[in-house]
Amino acid sequence: MAIVDSLLGLLPKAEGWLPTWQLIVAVMALFNTAQNFATIKLTRRIYNTASQPVTPLQARTFAIWTLTSAAIRFYAAYYINVKPVYDLALFSYLFAFGHFGSEICFFGTAKLTGPVLSTVIVSTFSLAWMLNQYDFYVRA
């Protein structure tokens, strides 16, 4: 039971579920970062209609982008009431939404299936949630 209590003590202390969600997304991004450094297999599943194959360099670049987003969201989990941190996290979801949306709709390198669908759902859901809760967490 002491281990569970210790782990629960690591959860964000701010009100509501949004800080915990930020932490969950950040941890998932760390796993995604590791897999992008280890293999290009899953990255190829995201960019599944690209006319050019995904290269190891692109996967590593995607890993760094994902790691940067994870760091921002990790900070947002624990400092969600700090306006610049909240804004950066919100923008990270907007950028992800824009990136994957453009790859699906304009560049045609991805289809809205499987791994791409999960990134679109997380970015859209998180962006809408953060916009809706802005005044609750960032009190002027």
Closest CA to 14 of 86, 106, 72: 86
37-72: per-residue pLDDT in tens? 999 988 888 888 867 788 999 999 999 999 999 999
Q: What angle do CA 15, 131, 67 make, to 5 degrees?
A: 80
Phi (first) and psi of residue 47, to 5 degrees: -95, 70
117-126: per-residue pLDDT in tens? 999 999 999 9
- Helix spans in 47-108 (H): 56-78, 83-105
Q: Could you tell me how far CA 64 lies from the centroid of its own chain?
A: 12
Averaged pLDDT, 112-118: 87
The per-residue pLDDT for 140 is 58
23-39: per-residue pLDDT in tens? 999 999 999 999 999 99
- Report whether pLDDT(78) > 70: yes
Task: 51-57: list long-range contacts, CB under 8 Å, 24+ apart.
Answer: 51/109
Q: Which residue ranges make up each domain of the chain?
A: 17-137
Q: Could you tell me how far CA 129 lies from the centroid of its own chain?
A: 14
d(CA 115, CA 109): 13
Kindly give, in sequence order, each residue whose CB lies less than 8 Å from that of residue 79, ignoring residues fewer than 6 positions away.
Answer: 85
Q: For residue 136, what are its two tokens?
A: 């609750």
